Amino acid sequence: MTAALRGQASLALGDVVGSNLLNVLFILPVTALPGALSVTRENIVDIWVALLFTALVALFAFTSRLRLSRWEGVVLLEGYVAFVGWRYTL
């Protein structure tokens, strides 16, 4: 948040994308190794959705020189709301 508020878009973007990728590709598998985390179909869908949103943020940012336009923000927000609504109505 601080980087975004100070106008350091590349740092804010790197933080968001890097955090998402690290969590999905490294932290989640490490916690699943000892068997403490059961892998279900819903978990796999969540992982793919997280990767999809990370790719969308990266695509939007790199096509517009590290700035997200209002419509791109609306697309991401609506996608998130739709996913959460779909995920918790199952």
pLDDT of residue 59: 87
pLDDT tens track for 72-90 = 889 989 999 999 999 888 6
- pTM score: 0.66
User: Mean pLDDT, the chain, as a whole number?
Assistant: 82
Provide the residue ranges of all domains of the chain, joining segments of one domain with +: 2-87
Contact 45, 37 (CB under 8 A): no
pLDDT tens track for 35-51 = 767 778 888 888 889 88
Degrees, nearest 5: CA angle 56-59-61: 105
